[in-house]
Copies of this chain bind each other. A is one copy, B any other.
Amino acid sequence: MPNTNAFYAQSGGVTAVINATACGVIETARANAGRIGTVFAGKNGILGALREELIDTAKFSDDAVARLRHTPGGAFGSCRYKLASLDEDDREYRRLIDVFRAHDIGYFFYNGGGDSQDTAHKVSLLGERLGYPVTCVGIPKTVDNDLPLTDTCPGFGSVAKYVAVSVREAALDVASMCETSTKVFILEVMGRHAGWIAAAGGLAKGGRDDAPHIIVLPEVPFDEERFLAKARSAVERAGYCVVVVSEGARYADGRFLSDSPGTDAFGHAQLGGVAPIVAELVRARLGYKFHWAVADYLQRASRHIASATDVQQAYAVGRHAVELALAGRDGVMATIVRTSDEPYRWELGAAPLARVANVECKMPKAFISRDGFGITAAARRYLAPLIAGEDYPPYRAGIPDYAALSMATVPRKLDP
C-alpha cells in the first residue's frame, strides 16, 4: 500500500503527558494496521524529517508503547525549530515532502503548539500543490494552554495540578513557621505570555485568608505599590503571604519584571528569575523575611503528579488524530470540546488548522479578579476539572519506572 505510512513528531517544550499522546497515536495506528502502515517518529521532532532521521515505532513492543502513557518528556526528542516562511523560502517544506515521499508517508501528525499547527497547515497546502497530498492532522500540546478552539491543551492540566498541589503544600510549611520565620513565599511558574499556569495556583485557595494570597499574571500590568499593599495586608491578616508569579509578569510599559535592570546580575530572559526580583522588592520595601522557589522544568516534567484528566485527554487527542486522518480529514487539529462544567464532560472534535495557527489564547478578563491578583469563580469552574484525578506511574526502587526507547533511526534513502 503506497503512502499509508505515518510521520509523528513532537514539537516545542515537552510535557508530562506528550508521550501519552504518542501512545494514543501509535496504539490507534496499530489497531488500524490494515489501513495505516508504519508510524515513523521524528528524531528530535521536525528535525527528524528534515534530516531524514526516522524512528520506526514498529520495533517497539506493545508493552513498551503502553509505557509511554506514563512517561514524561519527549520519548523521541523534540525541538524548538520554526520552519522558514513558506512564501520566502519553501525549501524546508519541499524537503519534508521529499522525505515523506521517500518513505511512503501519507499521514503527518504534528504534536505541538501554535507554531506547529501553522507548520502542519503549510505542509498540507504544499503537498497538494506539489502533487504529493499528505493528510496533515495537528495534535494540541502546550503547558501554556494558549491554543484556541480547544477547551484545553494536553500538558496544561498536569502543570496546573503540580502548581496547585505545590502551593497548597508550601503554604502549610510557611504557615507553620511564619511566627518566627518566613512571612512571604514566592513561587515562580511558567507562562511567558498567558497566565493560565499561575492562575491554576489559585485552585489551592480554600477560604479568604488561604494561600495563594497574590497571583501575578502577565495579563495584568504589575503595579508595585498595589502589590506591596496586598502583600502587607495578607501578612497582617493571615500571618504570611504566598505569591504565585508568572515568569511573564510585566510592567505597564511592557517590560518583563525579569528584565529589570540593576536588580538581576545576569538577567537573561531565558533565565526565569522573576521570583528573586519580587523577593528583593518585598525585602527592600516591606522588610519581611522571605523565601522563593523557581519550579522551572520540574513543573512540566512532573508526571508523578499528573492530572488523570490530562492524561486521558492527551491520549484521546492522539487516538482521535489517527481517526481523523483515516476519515480523510486533512488540515485539522484534534480538539477537546467541553460540554459541561459540573459534572465535567468533554468530547473530541476537530478545528481547521488555518484557524488555529498563530492565535494565542490568553486568560479572559472574566477569569481575573477585580484587583487583578486572583482568579474568579468562573476561572475555578473552568480550571478545576482539568486537575481532577491522579494517574500515578509505576515505581521501582522508589523512583518512577519510566520508559526509555531506543532512538535508532531507519536507513536514509535520500542525500542529507
Instruction: Point out residues on A near B: beta carbons under 8 Å.
Output: 10, 13-14, 16, 44, 47, 71-75, 77-81, 161, 164-166, 168-170, 172-177, 179-182, 185, 187, 203-204, 262-266, 268, 270-273, 275-276, 279-280, 283, 289, 291-298, 300-305, 307, 384, 387-390, 392, 395, 397-400, 402
Contact = CB atoms under 8 A, between A and B. Distances in A.
Chain A binding surface SS class: mixed
A73 B13 contact: no
6 contacts: A72-B173, A74-B173, A77-B175, A79-B181, A168-B402, A174-B297
Contacts of A81: 180
Given A173-B301, A273-B276, 6 more contacts: A74-B177, A80-B180, A168-B402, A262-B265, A271-B292, A293-B294
A304 B177 contact: no
A291 B279 CA distance: 20
A304 B24 CA distance: 28
A117 B268 CA distance: 45
B397 A384 contact: yes
Nearest to A175: B73
Instruction: Count chain B CB atoms within 10 A of each CB in A73, A77, A187, A294 and give the residue with the most.
Output: A294
A97 to B, nearest CB: 22
A166 B78 CA distance: 20
A80 B181 contact: yes
A6 B330 CA distance: 73
A283 B307 contact: no
Given A13-B177, A173-B300, A204 B166 contact: no
A107 B9 CA distance: 64
A165 B399 contact: yes
Pairs A-B, 10 closest by C-beta atoms? A73-B172, A74-B176, A293-B296, A387-B398, A169-B301, A173-B301, A79-B180, A170-B297, A73-B176, A44-B179
A73 B71 CA distance: 30
A14 B180 CA distance: 13
A86 to B, nearest CB: 21
B161 A398 contact: yes
B173 A399 contact: no
Given A44-B179, A78-B176, A168 B399 contact: yes
Nearest to A43: B179
Pick the most buried of A80, A165, A166, A390: most chain B CB atoms within 10 A of its CB: A165
